Structure 1
Amino acid sequence: MTGIEWTEVTWNPVTGCDRISAGCDNCYALVMAKRLKAMGSAKYQADGDPRTSGPGFAVTMHPAALDIPRKWRTARLVFVNSMSDLFHAKVSEDFVRSVFQVMADTPQHTYQVLTKRPMRARRLAERGLVFPPNVWLGTSVENSATTHRIDELVKVPAAVRFLSCEPLLGPIDLDRFLLPESCPDGCACRYPDDAVAFDCPCTGACVGWSPNPAIGWVIVGGESGPNARPMHPDWVRDLRDECTAAGVPFFFKQWGGRTPKSAGRELDGRIWNQMPKAGATWTAA
């Protein structure tokens, strides 16, 4: 089991990573890897580059861990590589394909793959990597400077594409990713029935128009730990409101802070635990 609110278990056929953006500055996995190395854990004995990684956190593939999901007797919601990034350049293409084969062979489980490197995921998909229907693909987006990752994510044919806006370090506008840019008629309308509201001179194609979001789920959370950077409540509210308007599930994980449990998870008096529906599929904008 795991303490991560939006999943049930973690599976780490790969460990280790390298920091590439501001959201990585206080990486929990890097701190944990150092601790696990000191405890003698066999998976965390290789050290990464001290400029971007750290003790016990070198990118390492673990073939012996591949078959773990095959041994689970009951269906599970699985966070893949909570201690790494499956699409890191140092993870071989063959090994990525081996992980995907295990996921395809165990359709009873639902797999959540989260990456800061969606460009590689897109390129592998173009090279024939098949995303099974039980695999969700997400990318981390911490501020407006990292929304370019979403542009790559929406090009990947995953059954559910999701965002982890954690740690949320600044405002993010997801509007253009949650609904298409314009109606099928090519007019200026942005949402269904805008033609009625704004008297748009189109043929009426946007009346009753029901687009599918390019993003199927949004997770938001503040940074935790002794060096936690503050998160403005309005950044969270804006994302919630955009998701609500687009009908996209919204999950608020935590306010964060040095002791995140004390701050809780309530947003405007409510716990937001929305998840994608089973079997949901989403199309690119």
Structure 2
Amino acid sequence: MRNSGINWTTGTFNAWTGCTKIDQECKNCYAEVLLDQRYGANREKRWGTEAKRKRTSESNWKQVKKWNSDAASSGEPHFVFCGSLMDVMDGHESIPQAWRDDLYKLISETPNLTWLLLTKRPENYVSFLNGRQLSWPHVWLGTTCGHDGDKARGRIEALQGTPIHSEAQRFVSAEPLLSDISGIDLSGIGWVIAGGESGAGARPFDLKNAWNLYEACDRQHIAFWFKQIGEITVDGAESIEKVSSLHDLSQVPSKYAAMIRRERPEPYRASVQAVPTVKADLPALEAATWMDATEGTDSALSEWVDCQFPTDEVKARELVLRPQLLAAVTALKRSRFDTGRLLTEYRKLFKGTFDGLLNALGIKRRTGFDIIEDYERAKAVAEPLRAAASRKGIDLAERKYEDLALQLAKSAKSALSDDEADVEFEAVAEEVKSERLKSKLDKGKADKLVQISLSGGANATELEEKVKSALGADVFRARYIAWLKTQEAALAEAA
């Protein structure tokens, strides 16, 4: 299904062609070279403020529907970059509103595709997209940031201030990476793409800058995609000779091996969850922050939850504990913190883990956000959010026991140390094994065994495997889900 040479996407779609340069990253624009110099030397120009944009062919538009059908049939994720020869948020006067309406209609009709909208004008997202469009779970919003100047920082801030669906992502393309941008606040960003510049006139790509960016992403649990080296690649003052294509990453010195990775957050799957029906004028999705939109009221919160959890997800709806979530909103409002961004980061960027949420709070404090200074207060506020988001953990647990489900369960406090857990586990496991052979599994002992394994600290993964072996996967699964629901009930009672 791949139809793009860009390695971080599956396909590329351009609704129209043409753009205007606005910052340093645009200097050697490959699209301008391709359209206005190579193929369009004797045609009407497409680049610049005076140049008219041109809509692409109908056949180009129709192929997207086929991609959507193919993605639905295969079950494989299909990413669509929009666009390589345009800026999707370009406000040029030659772009009629009808073109934008047609693009938004196409996006709404292709829920099996993950749309990667990339712009150097992210301040236009809120004005060009309405509340319904900002709520699409299969649309990721991105911007370009290749240097540490005020314009680039402003683009990041504009992207961070744009509301998105909880299943969607904000992403940054640091290509071409022209300087060290690792000091820029990346709060609320789920994905970063980095790469060097190609083509004639390419500027140096310093691997140290890429490494610093990778480390910043790693600390903040942001997926990192190393696209390519540059036409001119350096390591500080040392030049790296290019011996083959820019995509041959074996040319990167071994000391930077850790950053040679191509990670991407998990996309929304329309085959699993229906696209939610959202009112176009819904305040919770029109406002800049979820906190301001809901105003801490139960009715507004209910509307927001209805949008985030589609009505056909019965289990998900049952697990959303609205009173607890409302209490968390109220507590966080007092701290003047953007609740919507926290919930988005909690459920997506930090994979729904309790430790990840606390790390997020710590990261924000270090980067200048005055959020929740007291650690115990942070835990008290975070637990209801953990409960509300835990339906993701249960979903995973019912399919297979992956890290997310285990880490969600580990958020419950336990007085057992690792050593004590090991000793108690061995004792109970022997009893359970004996009873299992006799087909007389004691429910209480099974519960105890599961709880020990889930509170095992550093040894939790090893203990989990032992528990599965002792109980059998089906029994372990059933007892684990029952145990997790008791934790939910305890939290509800505490609230």
Partner of 1:219: 193
Q: Measure, in 2, the Cα distance between the counterparts of 1:247 and 1:111.
A: 22
- The 1:257/1:103 distance shift into structure 2, 3 A limit, reads same
> Superposition pairs for residues 1-20 of structure 1, below 5 Å?
1-20=3-22
Q: Does the CA contact (< 8 Å) of 1:257 and 1:263 recur in 2?
A: no
Q: Deviations over 1:2-34 (max 9, x none)?
A: 211101111111111111111111000111113
Distance 1:247 1:114 in 2: 21
- Between the aligned partners of 2:46 and 2:31, the Cα distance in structure 1 is 13
Paired position in structure 2 for 1:250: 224
Q: Structure 1 residues 161, 277: closer, same or farther in 2, change over 3 A?
A: same
Output the TM-score relative to the length of structure 2. Answer: 0.45
Higher relative contact order (CA 8 A, sep 6+): 1
- Correspondence for 1:82: 84
In structure 1, distance between residues paired with 2:193 and 2:101 = 27
Q: Structure 2 vs 1, CA of residues 66 and 3 (structure 1 numbering), >3 Å: closer, same or farther?
A: closer
TM-aligned CA distance change 1:279 to 1:121, over 3 Å: same
SS where residue 124 of structure 2 aligns?
A: helix
Report the equivalent of 2:357.
Answer: none
Q: Of 106, 109, 112, which residue of structure 1 is paired with 2:113? A: 109
Specify the SS of the correspondent of 2:257: coil
Match of 1:147 in 2: 153
1:62 alignment counterpart: 56
1:164 counterpart = 2:179: no
Q: For residue 141 of structure 2, give the secondary structure of its aligned residue in structure 1.
A: strand
2:263 to 256, 260, 274: 274
Question: CA 1:93 to 1:153, structure 2 compared with 1: closer, same or farther past 3 Å?
Answer: farther
For 2:66, the equivalent position in structure 1 comes to: 71
Give the secondary structure class of the aligned counterpart of 2:107.
Answer: helix
Deviation at 1:263, TM superposition (A): 7.1
Q: Read off the aligned partner of 1:230 and give its amino acid letter.
A: P
Note if contact 1:122-1:152 (Cα within 8 Å) is conserved in structure 2.
Answer: no
Larger gyration radius, structure 1 or structure 2: 2
| Distance change in 2, residues 1:103/1:126 (3 Å) | closer
Confirm or deny: 8 A CA contact 1:30 1:53 kept in the other structure.
no
State the one-letter code of the partner of 1:166.
E
Mark the runs of 5 or more structure 1 residues left unpaired by the alignment: 179-213
- Note the alpha carbon deviations across 1:86-122, whole angstroms, 9 max, x for none: 1111233442232122111111111111100101112
Note if contact 2:229-2:246 (Cα within 8 Å) is conserved in structure 1. no
CA 1:142 to 1:69, structure 2 compared with 1: closer, same or farther past 3 Å? same
Aligned length: 241
Residue 232 of structure 1 and its aligned partner are, at CA, apart by: 1.7
Q: Which residue of 1 aligns with 2:457?
A: none
Q: Which runs of 5 or more structure 2 residues have no equivalent in the other structure? A: 72-77, 233-241, 270-342, 347-363, 365-495
Q: Percent identity?
A: 31
Aligned partners of 2:183 and 2:91: how far apart in 1?
Answer: 27
> How far did residue 251 of structure 1 move?
0.4
Q: Could you tell me the TM-score, scaled by structure 1's length?
A: 0.75
2:238 matched residue in structure 1: none
Letter in 2 for 1:67: K
Q: Does 1:36 align with 2:30?
A: no
> Equivalent residue for 1:188?
none
Give the structure with the larger helix fraction: 2
Preserved CA contact (<8 Å) 1:100 1:131: no
Compute the RMSD of aligned alpha carbons.
2.7
